[in-house]
Amino acid sequence: MLKIGIVGGTGYTGSELLRLLCQHPQIKITAITSRSESGTRIDAMFPNLRGALDLKFVTPDQAHLNQCDLVFFATPNGTAMHQVPQLLASGVKIIDLAADFRLQDPEQWLQWYGIQHQCPELLTEAVYGLPELNREAIRNARLVANPGCYPTAVILGFLPLIEANIVDCKLLIADAKSGVSGAGRKANVATLMGEAGESFKAYGIPGHRHWPEIHQILQQVAIAGTKSESKAIFSKKTEHQLDFTFVPHLVPMVRGIEATLYTRLTDNTQDLQVLFESRYAQEPFVDVLPAGSHPETRSVRGVNTCRIAVHRPEYSSMVVISSVIDNLVKGAAGQAVQNMNLMLGLEEGMGLAGIALQP
Amino acid sequence: MLKIGIVGGTGYTGSELLRLLCQHPQIKITAITSRSESGTRIDAMFPNLRGALDLKFVTPDQAHLNQCDLVFFATPNGTAMHQVPQLLASGVKIIDLAADFRLQDPEQWLQWYGIQHQCPELLTEAVYGLPELNREAIRNARLVANPGCYPTAVILGFLPLIEANIVDCKLLIADAKSGVSGAGRKANVATLMGEAGESFKAYGIPGHRHWPEIHQILQQVAIAGTKSESKAIFSKKTEHQLDFTFVPHLVPMVRGIEATLYTRLTDNTQDLQVLFESRYAQEPFVDVLPAGSHPETRSVRGVNTCRIAVHRPEYSSMVVISSVIDNLVKGAAGQAVQNMNLMLGLEEGMGLAGIALQP
Amino acid sequence: MLKIGIVGGTGYTGSELLRLLCQHPQIKITAITSRSESGTRIDAMFPNLRGALDLKFVTPDQAHLNQCDLVFFATPNGTAMHQVPQLLASGVKIIDLAADFRLQDPEQWLQWYGIQHQCPELLTEAVYGLPELNREAIRNARLVANPGCYPTAVILGFLPLIEANIVDCKLLIADAKSGVSGAGRKANVATLMGEAGESFKAYGIPGHRHWPEIHQILQQVAIAGTKSESKAIFSKKTEHQLDFTFVPHLVPMVRGIEATLYTRLTDNTQDLQVLFESRYAQEPFVDVLPAGSHPETRSVRGVNTCRIAVHRPEYSSMVVISSVIDNLVKGAAGQAVQNMNLMLGLEEGMGLAGIALQP
Amino acid sequence: MLKIGIVGGTGYTGSELLRLLCQHPQIKITAITSRSESGTRIDAMFPNLRGALDLKFVTPDQAHLNQCDLVFFATPNGTAMHQVPQLLASGVKIIDLAADFRLQDPEQWLQWYGIQHQCPELLTEAVYGLPELNREAIRNARLVANPGCYPTAVILGFLPLIEANIVDCKLLIADAKSGVSGAGRKANVATLMGEAGESFKAYGIPGHRHWPEIHQILQQVAIAGTKSESKAIFSKKTEHQLDFTFVPHLVPMVRGIEATLYTRLTDNTQDLQVLFESRYAQEPFVDVLPAGSHPETRSVRGVNTCRIAVHRPEYSSMVVISSVIDNLVKGAAGQAVQNMNLMLGLEEGMGLAGIALQP
């Protein structure tokens, strides 16, 4: 059994990680740290784990994380970067579910997260943990930056089109909607049920932290997809060659993300249904729905699947894509387990079987 | 007291109309028809009306609608058109809350609603009942087509920009979200709480009936806003001069619509906040929020107000507008009462005071 | 116009009080205090009040509360008791929406609220503000303890039976359910939508603060309802003559309380439907539903009405009552306005018209 | 692989059964019948099953159910009784998830379900499929009546007390609350999200079909628990020796049942926590929570577990029990799979592993 440690297990991504890892046949959780809850039984905080996990939270000192094969960080942003260098030096592999290693540019990290990065030298080593894009690199990585929830839904929806270089990258819009668990399990007035229940709103229109993350990846894909002689135009100086608009919204539900994506074709000759189905034919966790479908978030509740439908409405010039994930699974803990399997040489889907809970 | 009749009072728009009219000081409801429920006390079906309304549903024969000053139709699409001509001939004014008189082109009506129109000659007479656009025409109208819920939120959001002729009408996108009451109060598997609860989805991407309605109005506004010599380009033959994309979504809540709108400026010289505030300064039921705001649907729950925020995110070329209404009030019954007040020479906001129920 | 002050206006009972008072024709809000938010526009925190209230939060020093005719306390428990004596001395009338003056016994207050009472001498002067029970005393009161939300629903349901002295007071059970707004608008993990959404639970079974409040009132009613020679048995020494069980539950919705009450008849001769209808015939805010009904919380959403149904199922010996209120209106702010009207000599229902928002 | 057929797979219990059976290692689904949907791919109706089940609905004629080892009926009440005798005669084992075989008395069935029973001779043969009560009988049964959802939660909560013969069976109250999926997946106004969302109500107070079912079982347990000489008192003539009150409520959520149970002890000498823990120590699917706990429905979302807490509040004479299940799993399909495992000689928990989806 491989030894797994978890730093920070009291939030939703942490508890979801525990749910999944408890059902994984090849790993053993050796420690879950929480300074504030050390000594508390984990199943006292998360009764769904009763009978599945016989552990208490421990302090970082008690955790002996350097003896683990792999450590997950399910901590607030800006935490992992303090501990990752030392653990890597001990030979431990790392998956960070927070944002510390998602942006390659430390200045951009400072700008969007408001903290000076503590190990900028690792930013380019860290692999962005989207297996559908970076599978081989993940297999060989010491350090994986697990993608954000919105980015996973948005990137998987745009990927086939941008890779095929058939859309106008100057017109990419993602109108994304998330259940409240995306905001985490910390005391906060704005996500009280009295505030978020029976209501709907956009937020973060002036700028959301997932914008630079999505922008960075889509731009990399766009560069890779262009002919070599054109790549120069995507140099750092012309960062905004891609024109990408992102508006997140808060949905009065617990789990689920839907992203509706809009762009325009520069090449009308391809059958988009075929394009999407081909692109994802070998992907175990992306399901392209039949033409004419509209995916529902509940169809992926609790599972690691992203379901996508692509439409070309007759009455408009736009391509419209609808992409759904469970923000806590494919958008966080499930994708982290998928990455773990790749990094540890296990079967990619191990521990991730299961059928969505519908209704 | 003015005499008011209601045809079809068993749905959500009908019951909301009753809620508002019961609180209106200058009118008296003389009859509410329902073939299936005739004889049933109205407050037996809608207990919130207990103590406020002492009436039973009656058959159309018993209703003596031709003695009313004004009749509302809160019926399924395709019903009002059978009865309107005769009532108009009796001198009764009409507000249709369904779609029968919203589209001016009978062929388009047939195409989107699948029914041959029964009084196409009235389509051009009917006034589209958006007071912010057609106030004077409504005052003088015999027949008002009350706007759809999505169209109200979307048109009010785009209106200042298109009137000012400063956006690219070839790039208009409305990503709209509605609570389930928008689907009506009829037995239907898709809107069972077991189906629509704790889930989110897009629907109608290939085409929704509110698309032609919004398209028609925005195009009229665009034509009116262009210089006279250019109007020719918007002739019927070039109907699709406007490129408008509309995607509705179902939110797991009862009431409320939010529409996030995307377009591009063709003229960067105007302060959009000032533009919106000026345009709606005299409008009693449109509230432009301070710069940087994000309206929530609950902030208009139960009231006839549309709250709007306009944004120009730095990281993208798009203008983004978020517009919220209560789909049953400003999106249906409240707007109908506002139109009634105009048609009957009453103060426009009579019976529509009240503060949104938040939380 | 009568001058009204509000201490503590940032919670749900405070904001609901503002919603109601803004629509009251005979009063003027002169100050709303909040130490933490002083200087903030009230409608910046509660956008539903935009256009209805042009005030900012002020510090207590700035509020000049001693010049008010009446002051509401919408503060956390244990706050009002520090300020009430001085205000009363200034001739200001007081309604406390918190629990400071609900229990007459200071030892019991200490036991259940964990704080030494600061003005125990006022506990017996304070009138329990349930108009259906204490209307005349409220009219003459300087200080009214506004009832808790659960107590309002439970007491109004049991009242006709206990007053009539026809039930076994040794067997009173209230199984009560509340929406999350009852827990207030403070940052708290347990009422995050991620915790309380799509789930249901009992809480407080070992003891909830509303138990002594309900017990105290029901016992007073029971004593008053017994023949004089029997009253001695309800002396303080035999406090637990009444055997009352209370279990609250948390419902995944924002507003509303339903209480299902169970007891047994000691006298089978009365028609309970007639008893309830007679008891509440003159009450403007209690609505006894027709026999066989089941009230829904939405039928009182936003209004000051309590709707009640009484049942005697054939298959059991129990009487079962179902009572619903809006916890923020009849269970808090609405009842407070009703009390204010009584205390200030205004028409009892002034400012409390309105029809519940259903759906 | 054992061959399993399902009659009626278009409702929530049917689809949940499919979700569970698809993950069962020892069975193969050979046919799922639906007259109305024959020819439709099952995963077109239930997209969560995409990739897990490659079958279409078939007509009963095409299903060859008599070649199955076991057939589940997930049909409306009154359907199974027409087909069961013939299938039993073919040697097929049957689990009926509807109510056809739950009541042993055909007159009572007629009274509560309004239909003459078609095979009353099988009513006494049918075993009530609550493994915690009837495990050995289920192992040997040809025909199992799968318990109702409310009965499962209520009976498991009362069972230890009644078996131990330490409570007053003349005072048993179950105040039960269910999510809307309990009402099934049929078009129905009352369970539209517009009707059931953001509201709470009691229903069925005058009598609900689960009352006779619970009453019958609790009475059998009470008789079995009394000394032999006393059993005579529970003869059929004195059916109402047990005094049991049952009030169901509708919760605005999709899944989950909570039952709060009230009774009084006749024997105060036992430690109830120990009693419950002992009674269920060997039960794989009943979890007695630590003293002082309050189970949440989400802690069993998607799993076959019943979690129970038992309380003796100091301020009252009542014992209070709170019991939660997922109405579609332990309350329907999960319990059916548990019964199937017993009937087919498989490990009782096979295919029922999994951890509840919290949040």
pLDDT band at D75 (very low <50, low <70, confident <90, very high): very high
Write down the residue that tokens 């303080």 correspond to: C236
* Within a domain: B120: yes
Least confident of A1-10, A232-241, C214-223, D318-327: A232-241
**Shortest CA distance from C183: residue in chain A:** A194
Identify whether residues C298 and C255 lie together within a single domain.
yes
Torsions phi, psi of D143, nearest 5? -135, 120
* B132 CB-near residues (< 8 Å, 6+ apart): B156, B159, B280, B283, B285, B286
Tokens of A276: 């999407």
Residue in D192, D198, D252 nearest the CB of B192: D192
Q: Collect all residues of chain D within an 8 Å Cβ-Cβ radius of residue C249.
A: 177, 258, 260
The Cα of B78 is separated from the nearest Cα of chain A by a number of Å equal to 24
Identify whether residues D167 and D98 lie together within a single domain.
no
pLDDT band at C205 (very low <50, low <70, confident <90, very high): very high
Angle of CA points C111, C112, C114, to nearest 5°: 70
The Cα of A184 is separated from the nearest Cα of chain C by a number of Å equal to 8
Task: Kindly tell me if the per-residue pLDDT of B161 is higher than 90.
Answer: yes
Task: Kindly tell me if the per-residue pLDDT of A234 is higher than 60.
Answer: no
Higher pLDDT, B240 or B259: B259
D199 at interface of C, judged by CB pairs closer than 8 A: yes
Strands A2-7 and A70-73: parallel
Domain boundary among A73, A91, A125: A125
Range 321-350 of A in CB contact (< 8 A) with B: 322, 324
* Within a domain: B192: yes
Residue C4: strand pairing partners: C29, C70
Q: What's the pLDDT tens digit per position in A84-120?
A: 999 999 999 999 999 999 999 999 999 999 999 999 9
Task: Kindly tell me if the per-residue pLDDT of A28 is higher than 60.
Answer: yes
Taking the alpha carbons of B207, B210, B216, B221 in that order, is the dihedral positive or negative? Answer: negative
At residue D72, what is the residue type?
Answer: F
**Shortest CA distance from C253: residue in chain D:** D198
C188 at interface of A, judged by CB pairs closer than 8 A: yes
Torsions phi, psi of C198, nearest 5? 50, 35
Identify whether residues C199 and C164 lie together within a single domain.
yes
Identify whether residues B88 and B19 lie together within a single domain.
yes
Task: Kindly tell me if the per-residue pLDDT of D347 is higher than 50.
Answer: yes
Residue B72: strand pairing partners: B6, B95
* Within a domain: D169: yes
Residue in B175, B317, B324 nearest the CB of A260: B175
D281 at interface of A, judged by CB pairs closer than 8 A: no
Strands B244-250 and B201-202: antiparallel
Question: Is B294 close to A195, i.e. CB distance below 8 A?
Answer: no
**Of A314, D246, C17, C71, which is closest to residue B244 (Cα–Cα)?**
A314
Can you give the pLDDT at residue B241? 81
Write down the residue that tokens 């709170």 correspond to: D322
Task: Kindly tell me if the per-residue pLDDT of D333 is higher than 50.
Answer: yes
Tokens of C209: 């603060």
Taking the alpha carbons of A42, A43, A49, A55 in that order, is the dihedral positive or negative? Answer: positive
Tokens of A66: 């350097």
Task: Kindly tell me if the per-residue pLDDT of B229 is higher than 70.
Answer: no
The Cα of D45 is separated from the nearest Cα of chain B by a number of Å equal to 11
Task: Kindly tell me if the per-residue pLDDT of B240 is higher than 80.
Answer: no
Identify whether residues D83 and D177 lie together within a single domain.
no
Identify whether residues C171 and C228 lie together within a single domain.
yes
CATH number, domain of D318, equals: 3.30.360.10
* Average pLDDT taken over every residue of chain B: 95
DSSP C332: I
Identify whether residues C160 and C29 lie together within a single domain.
no
**Of D60, D57, D62, which is closest to residue D15 (Cα–Cα)?**
D57
On whether the CB atoms of residues D265 and D319 are closer than 8 A, the answer is yes
* Among C68, C119, C149, C169, the one annotated catalytic: C149
Per DSSP, helices labelled H in C125-175 are 131-139, 149-163
The Cα of A19 is separated from the nearest Cα of chain D by a number of Å equal to 6
Can you give the pLDDT at residue C232? 46
pLDDT band at D226 (very low <50, low <70, confident <90, very high): low
What mean pLDDT do residues C144-168 have?
98
* Average pLDDT taken over every residue of chain A: 95
Question: Is C194 close to A186, i.e. CB distance below 8 A?
Answer: no
Task: Kindly tell me if the per-residue pLDDT of B85 is higher than 90.
Answer: yes
Question: Is A207 close to B315, i.e. CB distance below 8 A?
Answer: yes
Domain boundary among C125, C160, C193: C125
Q: What's the pLDDT tens digit per position in A264-304?
A: 999 999 999 999 999 999 999 999 999 999 999 999 999 99
**Shortest CA distance from A255: residue in chain C:** C194
Torsions phi, psi of A204, nearest 5? 60, 25
**Type and span of the H or E element at A217:** helix A210-225
Identify whether residues A167 and A30 lie together within a single domain.
no
**Of D193, A143, D284, which is closest to residue B184 (Cα–Cα)?**
D193
DSSP D56: B
Question: Is D295 close to A47, i.e. CB distance below 8 A?
Answer: yes
Instruction: For an interface test with D, give the residue of A43, A48, A287 to mutate (most D CBs within 10 A).
Output: A48
Question: Is B357 close to C47, i.e. CB distance below 8 A?
Answer: no
**Shortest CA distance from B190: residue in chain D:** D187
Residue in A52, A198, A358 nearest the CB of D198: A198
Range 295-314 of A in CB contact (< 8 A) with B: 295-298, 301, 309, 311, 313-314
- Residue by residue, DSSP assigns B306-331 as EEEEEE--TTSSEEEEEEEE-TTIII
Instruction: For an interface test with B, give the residue of D193, D328, D357 to mutate (most B CBs within 10 A).
Output: D193
Residue in D201, D246, D256 nearest the CB of C200: D256
Can you give the pLDDT at residue A226? 63
Residue B32: strand pairing partners: B6
Q: What percent of chain A has pLDDT above 90? A: 93
Task: Kindly tell me if the per-residue pLDDT of A239 is higher than 50.
Answer: no
Question: Is C183 close to A194, i.e. CB distance below 8 A?
Answer: yes
d(CA D304, CA D331): 8
Q: What's the pLDDT tens digit per position in D148-168?
A: 999 999 999 999 999 999 999
pLDDT band at C4 (very low <50, low <70, confident <90, very high): very high
pLDDT band at D245 (very low <50, low <70, confident <90, very high): very high
Chain centroid to Cα A345, Å, comes to: 21
**Shortest CA distance from A53: residue in chain D:** D355
**Of C133, C130, C110, which is closest to residue C120 (Cα–Cα)?**
C110
* C271 CB-near residues (< 8 Å, 6+ apart): none
Residue B241 buriedness (CB in 10 A; 0-12 / 13-18 / 19+): middle
Q: What's the pLDDT tens digit per position in B173-209?
A: 999 999 999 999 999 999 999 999 999 999 999 999 9
**Of C239, C219, C232, C240, which is closest to residue C163 (Cα–Cα)?**
C219
* Within a domain: B225: yes
* Average pLDDT taken over every residue of chain D: 95
CA distances from D292 to C210, D54, D295 (A): 19, 47, 10
Residue C172: strand pairing partners: C244
Asked about A306 being catalytic, the answer comes back as no
* Total structural domains within chain A: 2
Can you give the pLDDT at residue C227? 54
Write down the residue that tokens 């209560």 correspond to: B326
Strands A257-264 and A172-178: antiparallel
Task: Kindly tell me if the per-residue pLDDT of D231 is higher than 60.
Answer: no
Strands B172-178 and B257-264: antiparallel
* Within a domain: D350: no
Q: Collect all residues of chain A within an 8 Å Cβ-Cβ radius of residue D354.
A: 23, 354
Structural domain containing residue D240: 150-326
Strands C257-264 and C318-325: antiparallel
CATH number, domain of A79, equals: 3.40.50.720
Identify whether residues B121 and B155 lie together within a single domain.
no
**Shortest CA distance from B48: residue in chain C:** C299
- Residue by residue, DSSP assigns B163-224 as HTT-B-TT-EEEEEEE-GGGG-SS--GGGBHHHHTT--EE--TT--THHHHHHHHHHHHHHH
Question: Is B12 close to D195, i.e. CB distance below 8 A?
Answer: no
pLDDT band at C241 (very low <50, low <70, confident <90, very high): confident
d(CA C107, CA D240): 45
C192 at interface of A, judged by CB pairs closer than 8 A: yes
Identify whether residues D207 and D258 lie together within a single domain.
yes
Identify whether residues C60 and C205 lie together within a single domain.
no
* Within a domain: C352: no
Can you give the pLDDT at residue A229? 46
Can you give the pLDDT at residue D95? 98
* Within a domain: A243: yes
* Within a domain: C255: yes
Identify whether residues B172 and B318 lie together within a single domain.
yes
* pTM of structure: 0.97
The HSE-up count of residue D238 (CA atoms within 13 Å, CB side) is 10
Can you give the pLDDT at residue B71? 98
C359 at interface of D, judged by CB pairs closer than 8 A: yes
CA distances from A251 to A157, A320, B150, C48, C223 (A): 20, 20, 18, 19, 51
